[in-house]
A = this chain, B = another copy of it.
């Protein structure tokens, strides 16, 4: 009987032995699974680090590009004071050529806002189209100069100042559009008057960018001189190098100075006086704004010429007229 019982116990014991083994085997299988789980993590880690790598190098690339790409799209630009360039222009054979090379210079300048003011009863298609395609930030205005104030065919260019009403119209637009909200200091900016026939180095705009009141520099090939310029001693303008009437309040060419936007906005009456005697147009605008002592000399104390008062010849149309007479002239539909 004891033996039978022992047998019974043995089977029970064997059964339990099996169960325990199954448990252990199962446990070991689980151990295997644990490895699986970490293993099938690894590729994801690799993907992540690869993606992070690509992302980084791409960010690098973008940063470099940002630095070299076209100015008007430069995100650094919004932190620069805007340069408002006021350009009076009028219809003539070389107008499109002049505006084209001017535009191609301005495209190198960050944060430039081109204010083009036509001497015309309405905006012309030529200028409208050129500005639309330019890729520049611009404002297109027009203001017709009264006939009696306009140079007539054959008049010497010095007889009447050109572009007076157009520059004043540009100032009027700025004071209307950019006036500071009450209590605020308003937009950081600079105002420059750029005629469409001069030659401007891109460097000039870097020089004028941080004008506080009125900044000044030399102008090449102006007034019958190799250059005119303010003479600087101890960082201050003490007199002017000019070929004619140095006694004028500001014997400088229009291309030789820039004014801070704030100064333009806080002196709403300051404008160009078309009745001013010849050579006094710049003075008529500046005298209310600044004193010689306050002028800010740029371009290495006015020792570098970065703008030239170039003038483009009026093209002769001798042969055109002859062919027109025979009805063989150039197609007027072709814009020149």
Contact = CB atoms under 8 A, between A and B. Distances in A.
Interface of A: 2, 5-6, 9, 12-13, 16-17, 19-24, 26-27, 29-31, 33-34, 36-38, 41, 44-45, 47-48, 51-52, 54-55, 58-59, 61-62, 65-66, 68-70, 73, 93-94, 96-98, 100-101, 104-105, 107-108, 199-202, 218, 220-221, 223-227, 229, 241, 243-244, 303-305, 308-313, 315-320, 322-323, 329-330, 334-336
A45 B241 CA distance: 70
Copies in the complex: 2
Contact of A241 (B73, B200, B330): B330
B55 A221 contact: no
Contacts of A303: 334
Nearest to A45: B44
A126 to B, nearest CB: 12
A238 to B, nearest CB: 16
Contact of A199 (B17, B36, B100): B100
B224 A320 contact: yes
A309 B70 CA distance: 28
Given A54-B55, A55-B54, A97 B308 contact: yes
A201 B100 contact: yes
| A9, A26, A48, A65: residue with the most chain B Cβ atoms closer than 10 Å | A65
Contacts of A98: 199, 310
A125 B282 CA distance: 35
Contact of A93 (B105, B107, B221): B221
A196 to B, nearest CB: 12
Contacts of A59: 58
A317 B309 CA distance: 13
A58 B63 CA distance: 11
Contact of A312 (B12, B61, B313, B330): B313
Nearest to A99: B199
Nearest to A23: B23
Contact of A221 (B52, B94, B226, B304): B94
A5 to B, nearest CB: 7
Contact of A101 (B22, B96, B107, B199): B199
A264 to B, nearest CB: 27
Given A20-B20, A48-B48, 4 more contacts: A13-B13, A30-B34, A54-B55, A61-B62
Nearest to A17: B16
Contacts of A336: 220-221, 226-227, 305, 308
Contacts of A227: 330, 334, 336
A318 B224 contact: yes
B48 A44 contact: yes
